[in-house]
Structure 1
Amino acid sequence: MDNPASVIWPGLPMPCLRNAQAALLTLALHASVLALLLANWPVEKPPAQNISTISMQLLSLPPPAPVVETAPPVPVDVAPPEVHAPVEPQVDPRIAQQKLEQAALAHKRVEQKRLEQERQHKRQEQARLKQQQREQAQQRQAAEQLAAQQRQQAADAAAEQARKAETAAAASRQYLPIAKQAPAYPQRALDKGIEGECTVSYTVNARGRVEQPEVVGACHPLFIRPSLAAAQSFRYQPRVIDGRAVAVPNVKNTFTYRIE
């Protein structure tokens, strides 16, 4: 059943509706009392009295503003989340055994592969070390050969120098004259203005004297006799080999004849 107040004042909140309903009931009660008083009033007219008239006016007051009471927050008990124990699935023992065997086999393969890689790396390292040792040995051998060649070259150079010095010394002893006299210029050649050269070959004996002089090559006849006579007068330091004086053959001397 609808509330009369809600019909009259629709849209009002419930506390306002209740206050309006109470006001309507109060007015209705006053109207009933007034009607009863009027019905029981005597008919005889009383003496005229000065009746004070009370005029009543019903004023419709606006409903009071609703008081909104803010309810304190109600603590809400938050239940902790339920922790469900994990349900372990049931595993077939044969499948688990197969998985274990496969894992062990895979681990064994990985271990074998690692060992093979280590062995291969070791072989490569050994090969590298051997190659390095061979290269070092070759370098040492090359250095030793170079040093030996240098020593041999130095020895050969020293021997050659000694030989040259000995040869020079022997040559100096062989051709070092002690006394040498120039030949006399032939008078006939001077008169005729003849000039020329004459080469004489001879042997220097162990005493340093000239033996077997003879003219070699082209020589003017006027220059032969004085050239042989001059060569015969030469004196040399004898050549000595192993402490012994020896003869030196084929010694040559060229005489030049020029008119100044």
Structure 2
Amino acid sequence: MSSLTMTLPTSFPVARPQWRSHAGAAAATLALHAAVFGLLLHGWTPELSAPSQTQVLKTQLISLPTPTPAAEAVIEPEPTAVPEPLVETVIEEPQVDPQIEQQRLEQAELAYKRAEQERQVEEARVKEQQRAKQQRKEQLERERQERIEVERQQREAQRREQLAREEQQRQQAARAEAAAAAERARQAEAAAAASRQYLPIAKDAPDYPSRALDKGIEGTCTVSYSVNRQGRIENPKALEDCHPLFIRPSLTAAKSFRYQPRIVDGRAVTVPEVKNTFHYRIQ
């Protein structure tokens, strides 16, 4: 801040009339104010920053009583010059222009509003990012749960298919077993029926070969033959399991067999491949 200090003379000549001294003081004050006003007009502006120490010039204006006009002019002796008291001029700190202050406040308010808007925009952006991140996390969790559910359903479907296959295999095995059992029963029934149809009437035991008896040989011999329509034996032959000593007596005994003829559709038929096993044991 610039300050103006004017040094006044220590004394002013005092005119003989008292009104002249008052006029001089007034003129000096007016001149001082005019000088300050001129400086202000020529671009001198006080600094707005607060000084470390403000210099103050005090001005004291002394008003003298109005002289009473004398009826007659009295010539008084010239008094000795009395020094006038120092006149201190107080230059107050110029006030800040309200318009400039208002503009500064408006600019500060606009800057604050812009900063607040930017802060709100940043907060909104951060919240949007957090919301998007949370939505992405929830979506990933839903996808994970859906994937787990799909895998569970697939495993459940595979388990059901496995159980269905096992059940089908068991049913097939049961049907096959039932079919096999039925076939065995049918074959047994057929064999029983066939055996009933050509039951042996006479079966003589073979003679034990003396050579085998002397040597203590035991064994078996299976003979295959056909039963003709008369119930007699045709084409007897010994199979491979026969011991050579037991072949002849087995064939001789088989030829003596007599069967009841097999009847099919009311007629007797030949039964081929009838087998009979002879067991030779020494008692």
Q: TM-score, normalised by structure 1?
A: 0.50
In the superposition, the TM-score normalised over structure 2's length comes to 0.46
**Greater radius of gyration (CA):** 1
